[in-house]
A = this chain, B = another copy of it.
């Protein structure tokens, strides 16, 4: 019989953490490596020490809170996420995955449960990438996706290097990032999308994370007078971009429920009321769990861009600006998550993560999986982000079960 998560205690720790960097509209502002981020880290470290954990910090500032097992030669079974937020972020994104771990440790302590392998909570530095792009930087260094030097030389808007910011808050630890291996990594997170809420499911068993490809498309036409230039003589780059945007939605719809395609950004010149636009640039974000489908979508994107340009007598250039491969999470970890969810009698859905998470990098170097819980209206990266206490407890309960199965409980 696995012990029961204390819903109240988990919620109360979530609210306590949210006070650090609290924003006017009820969100949190703990951007990576700021004094607020340091305060959040300090509070986490204090809580874990109180629960008897050993704290390790690596040279990317990643924090590892270890709850010793019976056999500490075994690799620690890990959970975790991040404590940094967007500048106007919510109380749940990332924080939940960390504090679910703290609640699990306290719950195990209360019930005198020891595990064969040690357990571990990871706090990954700069997951949001809001101050130091790209996002998921430190889990990326841990997994070998990025070089340490690359990460150290990221700069914020004021020209401050990440390495210096890390030293400033005193979280530049002695362990070489990536050298402390782990036996598994499970990340519980709010969905940041509307699917679980819409389908009235309590748990998302996250089998894959979508591959994401980003493109920049530039349409080149000719500035001209809106009054004197007949329609057939125009080279209207904003019209070209609009044709492309309409077609890009259709590409996603053709590839079924898992495909998404978005144009979020547009730059238009001269952007004047009475001048036909001559230069318009859009960025495209296409995601799918299958690389083959992404190849096909990319092919269709090139056609759509070309057709939009031809229809408007413009020229077009398509450039790929980033390519994040799809991730397939670990079968055994997923089985344990599903099994624990079923044992708890919770409704669930096997689903795909549309967003990137630290777990996406970790999957390259250790058995990894994710658990999602619903969040209100799918809203995230927003001060009004909300998840209900019972949903937070359910996710933590599933995580506790899967961690125990992996780490093997022993009788005391």
Contact = CB atoms under 8 A, between A and B. Distances in A.
A246 B253 contact: no
B238 A245 contact: yes
A191 B228 contact: yes
A272 B264 contact: yes
Given A231-B253, A233-B198, A252-B231, A354 B225 contact: yes
A231 B285 CA distance: 13
Given A245-B242, A378-B233, A355 B265 contact: no
Contacts of A229: 193-194, 260, 354, 378
B378 A227 contact: no
Interface in A149-202: 191-195, 198
A181 B49 CA distance: 93
A334 to B, nearest CB: 19
A248 to B, nearest CB: 9
Interface residues of A, number: 60
What copy number does this chain have within its complex? 2
Residue with the highest number of chain B CB atoms closer than 10 Å, among A210, A212, A227, A257: A227
A356 interface: yes
A237 B173 CA distance: 45
A25 interface: no
Contact of A227 (B198, B243, B260): B260
Interface stretch (A104-112, A275-283, A295-303): A275-283
Contacts of A272: 264-265
Contacts of A194: 229-230, 233
A83 interface: no
Residue with the highest number of chain B CB atoms closer than 10 Å, among A193, A243, A252: A193
Interface string A256-268: 0101111111101
Interface in A207-265: 210, 212, 214, 223-231, 233, 236, 238-239, 241-243, 245-246, 249, 252-253, 257, 259-265
Interface of A: 191-195, 198, 210, 212, 214, 223-231, 233, 236, 238-239, 241-243, 245-246, 249, 252-253, 257, 259-266, 268, 270-277, 283, 285, 287, 353-356, 378-382
Q: What 10 A-B pairs are tightest by C-beta distance, nearest first?
A: A193-B228, A227-B354, A228-B354, A242-B245, A242-B242, A226-B262, A227-B355, A226-B285, A192-B228, A273-B283
